[in-house]
Amino acid sequence: MRRHTGMHVLGLTGGMGMGKSTVAAMLQKAGLPVFDSDATVRQLQADNGPALPAIAQIMPDAVQNGHLDRAVLRRGVSERPEMLKQLERVMHPMVWEARNRFLAAHRLRGTRWVVLDVPLLFETDGQKMCDHVLVVSAPARIQAQRVARRRGLPMAEARKLIARQMPDAKKRRLADTVIETGVALPETRRQVRCLLKALKQ
């Protein structure tokens, strides 16, 4: 775990459907600046976004007239899984560059704590630049229900999507703190308050 002088970095991660966005919003409301890697990806892949020319090189059918067709992209990755690695080689450096600008700006401002909200934090070794890693977790049944409802999928398909990710049990083992979201919202808020109190100390 890396220690920063002055500014500290809280890594926030968790699988799909675990409630990570809910916890990120709570941290932001408490005054911690949050770098949202998913939002950064959406910006990079927006119409005429900077990532589109490179994506078009990998999967020409997915980019037409400066617009990314995500359904075509998902289908292509599903049919040819090796394309995912190629896409990651395009997207990850762009996201890291945006993250580094975010960190540099807050270091200059003298911000005490910032949050890196990164779904693939462990998979990309992002935890090495964090002072504390927070994993958001919920029981498998609740996670699958959330993913199925959000994506309009049968439960079996939701579980297949979840199975492609790093197991929740492994993420929990790697965490400094685990926040449970398979509980009433006030209880999740209480856990976040406890974390913030500990970080301030």
Distance of CA 66 to the CA centre of its chain: 25
CB-based contact 15:163 (threshold 8 Å)? no
Distance CA(180)–CA(114), nearest Å, equals: 21
**Binding site annotation covers 83?**
no
Token reading at 95: 């996201």
**Binding site annotation covers 37?**
no
**Binding site annotation covers 22?**
yes
**Binding site annotation covers 182?**
no
Instruction: Quickly count: other Cβ atoms within 10 Å of residue 108's Cβ.
Output: 9
Apex CA 124: angle with CA 121 and CA 125, to 5°?
80
**Binding site annotation covers 19?**
yes
Apex CA 192: angle with CA 183 and CA 176, to 5°?
100
**Binding site annotation covers 18?**
yes
Contacts 24+ apart (CB under 8 A), 157-166: 158/17, 161/16, 162/15, 162/16, 162/17, 165/15, 165/16, 166/15, 166/122, 166/123
Paired residues of 115 in beta bridges: 10, 34
Q: Which residues are annotated as a binding site for ATP?
A: 17-22
Q: Which residues are annotated as a binding site?
A: 17-22
